[in-house]
Amino acid sequence: MHHKTVSFLLIILLFFSACIKQKYSSPESILENDPGYPRYITIAELRSNMGISGYKEITDNVVISGIVIADDKTNNFYKQIIIDDGTAAMPILMDAYSLYNDFPIGRKIYIKCKGLYTNYYYKLPQLGFAPDSKGTISPIPYLLWNNYIIKANRGNTIEPIKVSLAEVTKTKSELLNRLISMDNLQIADTSHSLFYALPADLSSATNITLIDCDSNSISLRTSGLCSFRAVRPSTGKGNIIAIYATFNNSPQLILRDTFDIQFTKQRCF
């Protein structure tokens, strides 16, 4: 009987001895701090190495860094974010939706550029992955992000560059992709511009012409998939903050969100 009891107890001990791990402690937010990588070159330098057209592979060990100035939260930017390091700005093509969760406006990132490609998309510079047969570079595949992109701290601020419309009606190369701020702008034709954009099944994107009081004009281009496409822009006059882009030689503005437009003053005409 004694043996029986002992063996029973032994087995019961075994019974409860093996714990299976089912609780996991959460990763520390410290991982989001700026690792302080040395920056090898500026974005302006990177741009100067791009050549004048087509794509080009970056073969040197270069690292750039910058702060996200535009993301895809409103879907007006598609599979890309734009970073700015104070010298220039560059769109980074990345293959996923909802990039803004990982790369929201204000987040600093480092990019190990070796193996990536620069390209001109209708004369607009961009940084991405290997080119396809048509010569367009692909967004960086999601699974390879960690090979190229190092995330740093969030919450940095970037001040838009104040310019007047007259300065940028002809494409100004050094301002491309940068966040600019212009005052005293208004929608040219209030009767037709009911919404920021037509739905995507009618048109992939819609242009609205903005003018200043001197009748200088620029297009505001909004995607048909954008979450504010069905919002009616204010018809007053005022300040706009937007990304300065170009399509071939036509400069255009791309809005990050409607709060970047403050057309609250009375129109010039």
Closest CB 66 distance from other proteins, rounded Å: 18
Closest CB 212 distance from other proteins, rounded Å: 31
Is the Cβ of residue 21 or residue 192 nearer to other proteins in the bound state?
21
From the number of C-beta atoms within 10 Å of its C-beta (0-12, 13-18, 19+), residue 140 rates as: buried
Interface residue with other proteins, options 46, 50, 68, 99 (CB under 8 A): 99
Tokens 């300040």 locate to 239
Q: What are the helix (H) ranges across 18-136?
A: 43-48
Nearest to 262 by CA among 242, 244, 243, 236: 236
Interface residue with other proteins, options 97, 122, 167, 213 (CB under 8 A): 97
Closest CB 260 distance from other proteins, rounded Å: 19
Is the Cβ of residue 25 or residue 249 nearer to other proteins in the bound state?
25
Nearest to 81 by CA among 117, 108, 105, 64: 105
Q: 180 has which bridge partners?
A: 161, 242
Query: Which residues within the stretch 152-191 sit at the binding site for other proteins (CB under 8 A)?
Result: 154
Closest CB 116 distance from other proteins, rounded Å: 11
Query: Which residues within the stretch 189-248 sit at the binding site for other proteins (CB under 8 A)?
Result: 227, 230
Indicate whether 135 belongs to the interface with other proteins (CB under 8 A).
Answer: no
Closest CB 15 distance from other proteins, rounded Å: 5
Nearest to 222 by CA among 242, 248, 192: 242
Is the Cβ of residue 131 or residue 238 nearer to other proteins in the bound state?
131
Give me the phi and psi of 187, to 5 degrees please. -75, 135
Closest CB 153 distance from other proteins, rounded Å: 10
Interface residue with other proteins, options 33, 61, 147, 235 (CB under 8 A): 147
Residues 46 and 58: their CA atoms lie apart, in Å, by 9
Residues 42 and 46: their CA atoms lie apart, in Å, by 6
Q: Tokens at residue 145, please?
A: 């992000």
Indicate whether 36 belongs to the interface with other proteins (CB under 8 A).
Answer: no
**Site size toward other proteins, by CB under 8 A:** 42
Indicate whether 22 belongs to the interface with other proteins (CB under 8 A).
Answer: yes
Q: 185 has which bridge partners?
A: 212, 238
Closest CB 269 distance from other proteins, rounded Å: 32
**Is the alpha carbon torsion for 36, 37, 40, 43 positive or negative?**
negative
Residue type (1 letter), 8: F
Bridging pattern class, strands 161-162 and 179-187: parallel
Indicate whether 98 belongs to the interface with other proteins (CB under 8 A).
Answer: yes
Contact footprint for other proteins (CB under 8 A): 4, 7-8, 11-12, 14-16, 18, 20-22, 24-27, 29, 31-32, 95-99, 101-102, 104, 115, 129-133, 138, 141-144, 147, 154, 227, 230
